[in-house]
Amino acid sequence: MTLDLFPDEPAVEPGEEPLAPGALLLRGFARSSAPELLEAVAAVTRAAPFRFMTTPGGFRMSVAMTNCGAAGWITDLAGYRYGPIDPLTGEHWPPIPDVFAKLASQAAVRAGFGPFAPDACLVNQYEPGTRLSLHQDRNERDFSAPIVSVSLGLPAVFLFGGNQRADKTQRVALAHGDVVVWGGPARLRFHGVLPLKDGEHPLAGRRRINLTFRKAL
């Protein structure tokens, strides 16, 4: 059975693709709920707009970011951390929308990690040419919970490496609606995104939205 809700897009065959012990790609898992997810992204960014954060080394990140949830991921000259307050608005980060939380929990269960109630969701906006260098998600306090990463919009090439930066990486093509879940022995694997190719998506336009759910506190 193919997902053909959006005839302008190539058909995507849903299924599961193991990437490593503890890491699973769920093809097309979020595609049917994508319109609701993108509406929720718009609501989140009205309260907490996208911005380009600065690394502790003083470099401006090319990917625009914002957050929702009890904790938001922040990077600036003071370092990497989570905090309850959006430094741009001075307000608490908006709550995680119900459609986000439901999808993240369902994906985690599907990947074998049991109940998952994220308290942080990092929302990344990629435009053509932007990339994300190899990194680990290690600012969270609870490494027993998985990472759930949802791709919406333009396709991307996801780099999934090992526990050391120099380890060989897999190149994983991600399409609109794909979800990657990693935890357990894969929880601290390095990962990144190659420069985004230009294109136009019928729902998201010339961009890719990535939702990354975490248990931070």
pLDDT digits (tens, 9 = 90+) for 162-179: 999 999 999 999 999 999
Residue 6 placed within a domain: no
Query: Collapsing DSSP states into helix, strand and coil, what is residue 213?
Result: strand
pLDDT above 90 covers a percentage of the chain that reads 93
What count of Cα atoms within 13 Å lies in the side-chain half-sphere of residue 76?
10
What count of Cα atoms within 13 Å lies in the side-chain half-sphere of residue 142?
14
202: pLDDT strictly greater than 70: yes
Phi (first) and psi of residue 91, to 5 degrees:
-105, 165
| Residue range 93-98: mean pLDDT, rounded | 98
Return contacts of 200-203, CB within 8 angstroms, 24+ apart.
Answer: 201/9, 201/153, 201/154, 201/176, 202/6, 202/8, 202/9, 203/6, 203/34, 203/35, 203/38, 203/152, 203/153, 203/176
Residue 154 placed within a domain: yes
Residue 1 placed within a domain: no
Residue 115 placed within a domain: yes
Q: Which amino acid type is present at position 102?
A: K
Domain count, the chain: 1
12: pLDDT strictly greater than 70: no
Query: Collapsing DSSP states into helix, strand and coil, what is residue 167?
Result: coil
How distant, in Å, are the alpha carbons of 35, 125, 203 from that of 207?
A: 15, 7, 10
82: pLDDT strictly greater than 70: yes
Residue 23 placed within a domain: yes
| Residue range 61-78: mean pLDDT, rounded | 97
What is d(CA 8, CA 159) in angstroms, rounded to the nearest whole number?
27
CATH of the domain at 35: 2.60.120.590
pTM: 0.93
Residue 7 placed within a domain: no
- At residue 14, the pLDDT reads 76
- At residue 13, the pLDDT reads 65
What's the pLDDT tens digit per position in 47-60?
999 999 999 999 99
Residue 3 placed within a domain: no
Give residue 46's domain range.
Answer: 17-214
How sure is the predictor about 211, in pLDDT bands with cuts at 50, 70 and 90? very high
Residue 24 placed within a domain: yes
